[in-house]
Amino acid sequence: MLELKNLKLSYGTSQILNGVNFSVKRGDVVSIIGPSGTGKTTLLKCINYLVKPTSGTIDFDQIRMDYARPDKATIQAIRLRTAMVFQQFNVFKNMTVLQNVMDPLVVVQRKSQDEAREIALMELDRVGLSAKKDQYPAQLSGGQLQRTGIARALAVRPDVMLFDEPTSSLDPELVGEVLKVIKDVTSSGITSILVTHEMQFAKNISNRIVFMDAGVVAAEGSPSEMFDAPANPRLAQFLSTELETQ
Ligand SMILES: Nc1ncnc2c1ncn2[C@@H]1O[C@H](COP(=O)(O)OP(=O)(O)OP(=O)(O)O)[C@@H](O)[C@H]1O
Ligand SMILES: [Mg+2]
């Protein structure tokens, strides 16, 4: 359903993505792992054009775009099909939890207040936050904030969920509740791409693992191919240091 080909991107004079080829099928749960600074966040952001690749193409079902010739309508069409959960929680401080989840439904999808409320309440229930619906972000824990962000992303019913290290800014005791919600989401069949340093979690929830290194996809395969018998020496080295610190 989604395919990126030969994606290149530079910031100033540094080439960050050096020809990434990456694809997901409908229903896939793909985890992207790899060393810090290797371009994982940048790759996710290319999908909804939050950053501008210099070349490459994207195919999203019937939508196709050449990044060398971006056009607004196509970018908008792709954005409407994706939702991103950021490392830093994407919630508005001046809105209640419920208003945060209703916001994209009303503002982007032009749904009525009643319809937006109904969907938002359903998504808040799914992430276990019904009781907090009238609270403001300042009154919530990091885990609750991130679950609000996830409900907000889910509410627009995206074709693809993009998660960028959704637990990395949480206190350790709050990681579990957010991972549980992500596990529920991915097992419900929503196509998901997850950038994570939680190796055990990636292994448990994904049907494919993509290892990025130095701005390219250096290896990919099933969780057991990648974690139990990594053929790529850089991957083996990355996993041994990563697992040491967990
Ligand atoms: N806006 C920017 N301007 C200039 N350089 C940037 C910008 N954003 C990212 N970079 C650089 O691009 C490279 C890739 O960054 P990216 O955030 O994609 O890495 P990452 O793989 O997500 O790392 P991490 O695991 O630490 O999140 C890094 O070297 C980073 O410093
Ligand atoms: Mg990152």
pLDDT (tens digit, 9 = 90+) per residue, 166-212? Answer: 998 888 888 999 999 999 999 899 999 999 999 999 999 999 999 99
Decide: 20 in ligand 1 pocket, CB within 6 A. no
Nearest CA to ligand 1 atom 27: 36
Q: Which pLDDT does position 143 carry in this prediction?
A: 93
Give the Å distance between the CA of 41 and the centre of ligand 1. 7
Which atom of ligand 1 sits closest to the CA of residue 42?
A: 18
Which ligand is closest to the CA of 32, given by its number?
A: 1
DSSP state of 54: S
Taking Cα atoms as reference points, which of 244, 226, 213, 163 lies closest to residue 36?
A: 213
Listed in sequence order, the DSSP H helices in 81-156 are 97-107, 113-126, 142-155
Decide: 42 in ligand 1 pocket, CB within 6 A. yes
The one-letter amino acid code at 127 reads V
Give the Å distance between the CA of 184 and the centre of ligand 2. 23
Give the Å distance between the CA of 29 and the centre of ligand 2. 18
Question: Do 145 and 137 meet the contact criterion of CB atoms below 8 Å apart?
Answer: yes
Decide: 36 in ligand 1 pocket, CB within 6 A. yes
- Quickly tell me which residue has 């099909």 as its tokens: 81
Q: Which pLDDT does position 28 carry in this prediction?
A: 96
- pTM metric for this prediction: 0.94
Q: How many Cα atoms sit within 13 Å of 145 on the Cβ side?
A: 21
Nearest CA to ligand 1 atom 28: 37
The one-letter amino acid code at 185 reads V
Q: Which residues of the chain have pLDDT under 50?
A: none
CATH of 2-81+161-244, one of 3.30.70.890, 3.50.50.60, 3.40.50.970, 3.40.50.300: 3.40.50.300
Nearest CA to ligand 1 atom 11: 37
Nearest CA to ligand 1 atom 30: 37
Q: Domain residue spans in the chain?
A: 2-81+161-244, 93-157
- Dist CA 74 CA 69 (whole Å): 11
Question: Do 89 and 142 meet the contact criterion of CB atoms below 8 Å apart?
Answer: yes
Query: Rounded to a whole number, what is the largest CA-CA distance in the chain?
Result: 55
Nearest CA to ligand 1 atom 4: 11
Q: Which pLDDT does position 64 carry in this prediction?
A: 96
Taking Cα atoms as reference points, which of 22, 34, 86, 21 lies closest to residue 199?
A: 34
Nearest CA to ligand 1 atom 1: 11
Taking Cα atoms as reference points, which of 164, 172, 225 lies closest to residue 239?
A: 225
Quick one: 106 exposed, middle or buried, by C-beta within 10 A (0-12, 13-18, 19+)? Answer: middle
Give the Å distance between the CA of 16 and the centre of ligand 2. 12
**Cα angle 161, 14, 4; round to 5:** 35
The helix or strand, by DSSP H or E, that contains position 230, with its residue range, turns out to be: none
Instruction: Choose one of 9, 42, 85, 213 to mutate for the ligand 1 pocket test, by most ligand atoms within 8 angstroms of C-beta.
Output: 42
